[in-house]
Amino acid sequence: MNKLVKAEWYRLRKSGTFLFYIVLVCILCVAVALLGNRKFFESDLSTNAFAVLFGVGSFMYPVFISTMLCVVASMGHHSKVAYYEIMDGNKTSHIILSKHIVYLPIVLCLFLIPMLSLLGYSCVKNGSGELIDKPIWFFILFAAIILRIVIGSINIAMVLKKLVACAVFSYGRMFIEALAIIPFQIIGETQKNSDILKIADFIKDVTVSFQIENLTTNCNDTRFIVMVIASAVFEIVFGYCMAYRSYKKKKFN
């Protein structure tokens, strides 16, 4: 395991500018919170969270962070190093885990912890605001969504393996998810069919971008809390199983 972690970290450091871009994306995602609201430190949690997450955050986090991690985590396959990790007799679970051990702390230290600290400071200093009755659930759900993005992106990279496919996956996924909702929304509203509208609401509740967008307004709703946590657990477990199967079957491109 240690050998795999050291090898992945070495590969990241020697990959040219990829490490720089990961750091830049994480810092930029935090900076947007401050640049988008000059009165950030004077506003309450609800105001800051809504300003950051609605629109800008719902696009930047699932696309920018996911794209960078997908591309970087797929470098081993692009350079054919992944072949030798299997041939060297390493356990499949150790190979997958080594990727997460390297990339997850980077995002935690450079994005998630600073972001939670800024929002937590505004909550302690100025209160939670009108939209968020229970701040603890807001922070838990925000962390769950970001962990889903990070861990899910690494798993996806280990399934797709191709650099180009990983680069366009996040954009394509967000586009497809948005398109999937439109027919149900239109038909449901046109026919006044509540069952069809419930399908549209379900899709919104399980997709990352809409979860981020609705986090400020729905973080006190029990159904939303369950859907966010359940969808995060499902995607992480499903992605791991797909990556494990792909490596176990030696399905390399």
Token pair, residue 14, equals 């020697």
pTM beyond cutoff 0.75:
yes
Residues contacting residue 139 through CB under 8 Å, at least 6 positions apart: 116, 119, 120
pLDDT for res 55: 74
Tens digit of each residue's pLDDT (9 = 90 or more) over 75-125 = 767 666 666 676 667 788 888 888 899 999 999 999 999 999 999 999 999
Q: Average per-residue pLDDT in the chain?
A: 85
What distance in Å separates the CA atoms of residue 215 and residue 144, rounded to the nearest whole number? 11
Residues in the chain, how many?
253
205 φψ region: left (φ > 0), alpha (ψ -120 to 50), beta (else) = alpha
What would the mean pLDDT of 177-186 be, rounded to a whole number?
Answer: 82
What distance in Å separates the CA atoms of residue 59 and residue 51, rounded to the nearest whole number? 13
